[in-house]
C-alpha cells in the first residue's frame, strides 16, 4: 500500500489500513469481501468485513466522495434516516504507482436490504405499496429540513422491516443539496416527479424479470408515492382554520400528527380580526414520537411502527396489572424484564441475526394472535414462542400485519429454544409479502 494514502474520518478505525487499497475494488480478494445483497448503482460498490462489522465501499471521484461524506454527516445530525459515513479514502495507487479511484466508506445498515433483495419470489402489489409509502415518508422528512435529493428512487434507498411496514433509509446522497431557506414548490415537485418516473422504471424492470405479481401495475404503484407524499405533506405543514369555539381541534391536530409518528415543537396560532376564528399552522415537525416515548420508558431503540406496536403491548400489560395507578416508568421496567427480554433471550443464537429483536417480538405477537384465532383459545406467550421459532423464524423473515392482542407475563420452559419438532397447527406460513 502506498504511503500517500489519505483517510478522512471523524474517528479512524485502524483496521481500515489493513484493507487492500492498492488493488482495484473489483479485484479485492474474497477474504475481504462480505457476501451481502446489493442494489443497483452507477458506481462500483462492494461490501467488506471490518472490525466485526460490515462496510460498503464505493468507488467515485475525490470531490464527490468528500461531498457525499459531509452531506451524510449533516443528515445524521438532523436525525434523518441514512447510512453512517465512515471515511473518505483518496490518493489510492497500485504498487506500480498507477492512480486508483477514491472511495467513500459507509457502514452497512444492519437488518436492511435493497428493494430487489427483499423478495425471494414475486413482489406483491401491497408490498410494493408499503415500500413506496416508506419512501414517501422519507422524502417528506428530507423536504421538511430543506434537502433536495435530485435522484429519488428505490435503488437509492435501503429498507428495514418495521412491524409489518417498512422504514426507508437514504443510501445515496451524491446528488443531494441542503437549502437553509427550505425548498420551493418547484424543487419539491421535481423530486416527486423523479421519484414517480424512477419507481415506475424499477418496477417495470422487475416485471420484465418475472419478479412481480401479475396484478401489480408499476404505473399505479409509482403514482402512489405522489398521493402518499402530498397527503402527508399537507398534514404536516398545512394550515387549518376553525371557529374559536372549536379549540379542541388543536388537540385533535396534534394527536393526528402524533399518530403519524411526528412531534410538534412549535405551533403558530393566529386569531382573526373579529376574534371568532383561529388559524393553526405547524411550524417545526420532528419524526419519531413513539420511538422517543419507548426509548424514554424502556431504553429500546426501534423503528417508529415497532415502537408503536411495543407501546400498545406495554399498555395492554399495564391494564392487567393489579395496581392500576402504578407509575408508567415502573410498569415499563417490569414489562421489559418480565415480557420483552425473556422472549429475546429465548431466540436461538443461530437465528438472532435474522431479524431485529423488536421485529421478532412484533411477529411473535402476530403469530400468537393467528394461533388463538385458529384454535379458539388464548394461547400462552411461551407456547406461541415455541411455535414461532420452529415454524416461522427458522425458515423465513415475514412482514406482518399490525395486530393488538394483550400480552401476559411469561415463564419460559427450559426447552423453548430447543424444540425442533415440526408443528402441524394448520397455519399457512407461506410468504406474507
Report the alpha-carbon distance of residue 368 to residue 379 in Å, rounded.
Answer: 6
CATH superfamily of 113-237: Transferase(Phosphotransferase) domain 1 (1.10.510.10)
State the cell numbers at 22.
492498492
User: Alpha-carbon Rg of the chain, whole angstroms?
Assistant: 24
Q: Which of 89-93, 308-312, 398-402, 413-417 has the lowest mean pLDDT?
A: 398-402
pLDDT, residue 422, reads: 32
Report the alpha-carbon distance of residue 433 to residue 415 in Å, rounded.
Answer: 31
Q: Which of 51-65, 136-150, 311-325 has the lowest mean pLDDT?
A: 311-325
Q: Which CATH architecture has domain 6-108?
A: 2-Layer Sandwich (3.30)
For residues 294-304, give the mean pLDDT.
Answer: 83
Tens digit of each residue's pLDDT (9 = 90 or more) over 57-69: 999 999 999 999 9
State the cell numbers at 359.
421485529
CA distance readout (Å), 213 to 133, 167, 207, 342: 18, 22, 8, 39
DSSP letter assigned to residue 121: S
- Contact 174/68 with Cβ under 8 angstroms? yes
CA angle, corner 54, sides to 50 and 60, nearest 5?
90
The burial class, CB within 10 Å (0-12 / 13-18 / 19+), for 255 is: exposed
- Contact 89/130 with Cβ under 8 angstroms? no
List the beta bridge partners of residue 160.
112, 167
Tens digit of each residue's pLDDT (9 = 90 or more) over 154-213: 989 988 887 777 889 999 999 999 998 889 999 999 999 999 999 999 989 888 888 878
Tens digit of each residue's pLDDT (9 = 90 or more) over 76-98: 998 899 999 999 999 999 988 89
Reference 84, options 9, 20, 159, 2; nearest CA is 9
pLDDT, residue 406, reads: 43
User: The pTM is what?
Assistant: 0.69
* φ, ψ at 86 (rounded to 5°): -105, -50
- Contact 347/360 with Cβ under 8 angstroms? yes
HSE, side-chain direction, 13 A CA sphere, residue 205: 11
Amino acid at each position: 500500500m502506498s504511503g500517500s494514502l489519505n483517510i478522512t474520518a471523524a474517528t479512524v478505525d485502524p483496521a481500515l489500513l489493513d484493507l487492500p487499497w492498492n488493488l482495484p475494488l473489483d479485484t479485492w480478494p474474497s477474504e475481504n469481501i462480505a457476501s451481502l445483497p446489493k442494489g443497483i448503482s452507477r458506481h462500483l460498490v462492494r461490501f467488506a468485513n471490518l472490525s466485526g462489522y460490515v462496510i460498503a465501499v464505493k468507488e467515485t471521484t475525490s470531490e464527490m466522495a468528500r461531498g457525499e461524506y459531509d452531506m451524510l454527516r449533516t443528515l445524521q445530525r438532523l436525525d434523518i434516516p441514512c447510512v453512517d459515513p465512515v471515511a473518505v479514502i483518496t490518493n489510492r495507487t497500485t504498487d506500480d504507482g498507477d492512480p486508483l479511484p477514491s472511495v467513500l466508506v459507509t457502514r452497512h445498515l444492519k437488518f436492511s436490504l435493497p428493494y430487489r433483495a427483499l423478495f425471494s419470489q414475486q413482489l406483491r402489489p401491497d408490498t410494493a405499496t408499503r415500500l413506496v409509502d416508506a419512501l414517501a415518508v422519507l422524502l417528506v422528512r428530507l423536504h421538511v429540513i430543506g434537502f433536495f435529493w435530485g435522484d429519488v428512487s428505490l435503488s437509492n434507498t435501503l429498507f428495514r422491516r418495521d412491524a409489518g411496514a417498512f422504514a426507508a433509509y437514504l443510501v445515496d446522497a451524491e446528488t443531494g443539496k441542503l437549502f437553509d431557506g427550505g425548498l420551493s414548490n418547484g424543487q419539491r415537485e421535481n423530486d416527486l416527479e423523479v421519484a414517480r418516473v424512477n419507481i415506475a422504471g424499477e418496477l417495470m424492470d422487475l416485471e420484465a424479470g418475472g419478479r412481480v405479481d401479475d396484478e401489480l401495475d408499476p404505473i399505479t404503484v409509482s403514482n402512489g408515492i405522489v398521493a402518499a407524499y402530498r397527503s402527508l405533506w399537507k398534514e404536516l405543514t398545512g394550515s387549518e382554520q376553525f371557529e374559536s369555539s372549536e379549540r379542541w381541534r388543536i388537540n385533535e391536530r396534534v394527536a393526528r400528527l402524533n399518530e403519524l409518528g411526528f412531534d410538534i415543537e412549535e405551533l403558530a396560532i393566529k386569531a382573526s380580526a373579529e376574534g371568532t376564528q383561529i388559524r393553526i399552522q405547524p411550524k417545526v415537525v420532528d419524526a419519531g414520537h413513539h420511538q422517543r416515548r419507548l426509548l424514554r420508558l424502556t431504553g429500546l431503540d426501534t423503528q417508529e411502527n415497532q415502537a408503536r406496536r411495543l407501546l400498545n403491548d406495554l399498555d395492554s400489560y399495564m391494564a392487567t396489572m393489579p395496581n392500576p395507578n402504578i407509575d408508567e416508568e415502573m410498569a415499563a421496567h417490569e414489562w421489559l424484564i418480565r415480557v420483552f427480554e425473556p422472549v429475546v433471550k429465548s431466540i436461538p443464537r443461530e437465528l438472532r441475526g435474522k431479524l431485529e429483536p423488536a421485529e421478532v417480538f412484533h411477529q411473535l405477537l402476530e403469530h400468537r394472535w393467528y394461533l388463538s384465532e385458529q384454535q379458539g383459545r388464548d394461547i400462552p406467550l411461551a407456547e406461541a414462542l415455541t411455535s414461532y421459532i420452529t415454524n416461522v423464524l427458522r425458515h423465513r423473515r415475514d412482514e406482518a400485519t399490525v395486530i393488538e392482542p394483550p400480552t401476559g407475563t411469561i415463564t419460559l420452559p427450559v426447552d423453548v429454544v430447543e424444540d425442533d419438532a415440526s408443528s402441524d397447527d394448520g397455519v399457512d406460513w407461506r410468504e406474507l409479502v
